[in-house]
């Protein structure tokens, strides 16, 4: 026992000795971890690259195809623009990397665009960034899984009919892996991630060597061009291709959201991982696009560009081709892990501020945000079903949200550096997400973030305009609706806190007398247990039986005279054979007669069957009554359980 002398209270502390037993959950996601194990669940740079960069790295498998899918409308002559577009995207990647590397060091607690916007602009821009990122994470899972299935279908066309079912199964597998914890899921994803990076570099290097030697040639038996009406090559067409290709950079922000998952020194490890990711992403994107142009790959849902490139580079569908397809498929499926790492963390931050259900802040048995993981899997699985696992149909929804968050984040960072430049050297200002102090390089950093904000805003506008009809309008409508939902949740929690607050509460009125109503359906052991409990509350007890059968009511009356212990019994005749309504009418009558310090206490015997299936054999009237009366502040409902076989 610990005595709190300062407050004059007695505080007891003890550690619960209960240890969760083994169960199906233990088999699926592993044994429960103690809170003290949290520091040991952090990850280093190599695992961090697999966890947070798999989305960005995997986008090299479909970004080129999505560019070509637009350029093909201008005919084969338009394909020459793919390489300059890839270079422009790499320039954008460099700008984003510099920006988010600054964000990582400025906001070591993680949270990315949401925290940056919250500290520098306020709640509305922060919630806009949160809605955009949460939407993007959902689409990341849907697009990456669907793209992985497209790789499988390219190698095994007979599976095309079952692509939706296969995609949903893979989402469930990735969800279960993430429920096992960051470190374990990271280990599981590390090997396939690095195999993918290795085999893609082998493909690109071999392809460039063969191209230089003049032995590469063109893709054999390419898929048929699926375009029926060609267009003139125009700026609009090139901008559409560029906007499709920017899907390659959509995972850049993930590391800044998940800094807390890294081992100390967190910011250093996260920053290095971000740079590694950008170097790999940029080099592979350029190499794949460059080779795809030279072999004249045709974008098609029947066979992916990666499949065409691989079988051209390796001269057929041999071992290296199959290894490339397998590695690409696995990385695309596992790319959703980036979202599973980022979505729950961002959801927890938003929930801590009261804009999402508080359940999102709870860590599960494996110290991960289980509610966020399950919510992400459920919503992304629904999207896969609705859009039939089609990457082309999902891509228009993709990227616009993340570029909105890019813009808000970088504008917020530019404002941060401006505020930093206005401070004196010895002054520190504590903000909600970081500590602001003078930075001698504030002008350079503000310039980087300012230019980045302008560029990403332009890309976002281009994306919104060029993809509006194709489906981008859904995101443009969805983000404001999500913001309204966030505010609705916040208002609910604020009202709840006000109603529960002890400020100006004073002394609560004393409850001097219970008027007990004992609901009786029959006279049996359960009824006797409830009666004995009721007598501990008050001497003013009325047993009430609603009668729909006179013969049964007479049996109850006779039994009550023997077992009722002198407590009065009221039999309510119900000519319309209703059970709940007559009792409610009687309770309302009692309520109208209540004196100031009286309360109605409804005591109900409750059968608790041993087996779940036997619950179906009982009417469970007590449950119905409880649900009906829960919103009545002047009525206390007590269920007295009686266990039966």
The predicted-structure confidence for 383-412, as pLDDT tens digits, reads as follows 999 888 887 777 667 677 888 888 999 999
Per-residue pLDDT at 2: 47
Highest mean pLDDT, choosing among 14-23, 185-194, 348-357: 348-357
DSSP 262: B
Cβ neighbours for 392, distance < 8 A, ≥ 6 positions apart:
66, 69, 301
Percentage of the chain beyond pLDDT 90 is: 29
Cβ-based neighbour number of residue 486 at 10 Å: 23
- Rounded to the nearest integer, the mean pLDDT of the chain is 84
Cβ-based neighbour number of residue 373 at 10 Å: 25
State the architecture of 513-644 in CATH terms.
3-Layer(aba) Sandwich (3.40)
DSSP 214: T
Structure-token match 């009687």, residue found: 586
Q: How far is CA 61 from the centre of its chain?
A: 24
The per-residue pLDDT for range 477-493, each reduced to its tens digit, is: 889 999 999 999 999 99
- Residues 194-209 have a mean pLDDT of 94
- Residue 300 has phi, psi (to 5 degrees) of -160, 145
**DSSP states of 48-108:** HHHHHSHHHHHGGGTHHHHHHHHHGGG-GGGGGGHHHHHHHHHHHHHHHHHHHHHHHHH-T
The per-residue pLDDT for range 119-157, each reduced to its tens digit, is: 999 999 999 999 998 998 898 888 878 877 887 887 788
Cα–Cα distance for residue pair 455/443, rounded to 1 Å = 18
The per-residue pLDDT for range 598-613, each reduced to its tens digit, is: 888 999 888 777 766 6
SS (H, E, C) 502-546: CCCCCCCCCCCEEEEEEECCCCCHHHHHHHHHHHHHCCCEEEEEE
Cis link prior to 265 (omega < 30° from 0)?
A: yes
Per-residue pLDDT at 86: 94
What does the domain layout of the chain look like in residue ranges?
42-492, 513-644
The per-residue pLDDT for range 360-377, each reduced to its tens digit, is: 998 877 778 889 999 999
The per-residue pLDDT for range 277-287, each reduced to its tens digit, is: 999 999 999 99
Query: Are the C-beta atoms of 512 and 537 separated by less than 8 Å?
Result: no
The dihedral sign for the CA sequence 305, 311, 315, 319: positive
DSSP 469: I
More confident residue, 4 or 108: 108
The per-residue pLDDT for range 412-422, each reduced to its tens digit, is: 999 999 999 98
219 pLDDT exceeds 80? yes
- CATH (residue range 42-492): 1.20.1740.10
- Residues 542-568 have a mean pLDDT of 90
């Amino acid at each position: 026992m610990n005595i709190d002398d300062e407050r004059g209270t007695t505080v007891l502390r003890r550690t619960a000795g209960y240890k969760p037993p083994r169960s199906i959950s233990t088999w699926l996601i592993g044994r429960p971890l103690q809170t003290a194990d949290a520091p040991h669940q952090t990850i280093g740079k190599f695992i961090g690259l697999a966890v947070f960069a798999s989305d960005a790295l995997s986008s090299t498998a479909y970004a080129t195809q999505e560019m070509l899918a637009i350029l093909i409308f201008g005919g084969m002559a338009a394909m020459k623009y793919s390489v300059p577009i890839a270079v422009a995207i790499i320039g954008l990647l460099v700008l984003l990397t510099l920006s988010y590397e600054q964000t990582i060091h400025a906001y070591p607690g993680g949270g990315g665009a949401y925290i940056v916007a919250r500290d520098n602009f306020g709640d509305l821009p922060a919630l806009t960034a949160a809605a955009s990122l949460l939407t993007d994470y959902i689409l990341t899972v849907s697009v990456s899984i669907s793209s992985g299935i497209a790789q499988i279908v390219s190698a095994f066309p007979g599976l095309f009919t079952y692509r939706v079912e296969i995609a949903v199964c893979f989402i469930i597998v990735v969800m279960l892996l993430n429920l096992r914890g960051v470190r374990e899921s990271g280990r599981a994803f590390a090997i396939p991630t690095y195999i993918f990076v290795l085999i893609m570099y082998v493909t690109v290097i071999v392809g460039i060597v063969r191209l230089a030697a003049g032995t590469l040639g063109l893709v054999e038996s390419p898929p048929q061009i699926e375009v029926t009406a060609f267009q003139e090559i125009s700026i609009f067409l090139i901008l559409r291709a560029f906007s499709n290709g920017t899907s390659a950079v959509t995972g850049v922000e993930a590391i800044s959201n998940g800094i807390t998952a890294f081992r100390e020194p967190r910011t250093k490890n996260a920053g290095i991982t971000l740079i590694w990711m950008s170097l790999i992403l940029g080099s592979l994107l350029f190499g794949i696009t460059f080779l795809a142009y030279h072999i004249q790959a045709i974008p098609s849902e029947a066979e992916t560009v990666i499949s065409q490139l691989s079988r051209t580079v390796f001269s057929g569908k041999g071992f290296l081709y199959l290894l490339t397809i397998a590695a690409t498929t696995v990385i695309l499926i596992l790319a959703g892990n980036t979202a599973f790492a980022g979505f729950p963390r961002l959801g927890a931050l938003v929930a801590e501020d009261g804009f999402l259900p508080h359940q999102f802040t709870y860590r599960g048995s494996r110290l991960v945000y289980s509610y966020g993981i399950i919510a992400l899997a459920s919503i992304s699985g629904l999207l896969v079903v609705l859009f039939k696992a089609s990457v082309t149909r999902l891509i228009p929804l993709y990227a616009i949200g993340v570029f909105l968050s890019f813009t808000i984040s970088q504008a917020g960072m530019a404002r941060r550096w401006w505020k930093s430049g206005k401070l004196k050297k010895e002054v520190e200002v504590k903000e909600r997400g970081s500590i602001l102090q003078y930075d001698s390089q504030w002008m350079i950093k503000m310039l980087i973030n300012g230019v980045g904000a302008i560029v990403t805003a332009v890309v976002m506008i281009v994306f919104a305009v060029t993809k509006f009809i194709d489906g981008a309008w859904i995101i443009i409508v969805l983000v404001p609706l999500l913001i309204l939902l966030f505010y609705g949740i916040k208002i609910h929690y604020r009202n709840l806190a006000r109603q529960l607050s002890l400020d100006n509460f004073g002394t609560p009125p004393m409850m001097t007398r219970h008027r007990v109503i004992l609901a009786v359906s029959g006279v049996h052991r359960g009824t006797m247990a409830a009666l004995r409990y009721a007598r501990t509350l008050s001497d003013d007890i009325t047993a009430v039986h609603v009668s729909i059968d006179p013969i049964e009511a007479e049996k109850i009356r006779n039994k009550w005279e023997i077992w009722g212990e002198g407590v009065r019994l009221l039999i309510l005749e119900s000519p319309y054979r209703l059970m709940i309504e007559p009792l409610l009418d009687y309770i309302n009558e009692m309520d109208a007669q209540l004196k100031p310090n009286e309360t109605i206490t409804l005591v109900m015997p409750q059968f608790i069957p041993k087996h779940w299936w036997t619950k179906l054999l009982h009417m469970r009237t007590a449950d119905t009554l409880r649900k009906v009366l829960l919103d009545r502040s002047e009525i206390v409902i007590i269920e007295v359980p009686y266990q039966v076989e």
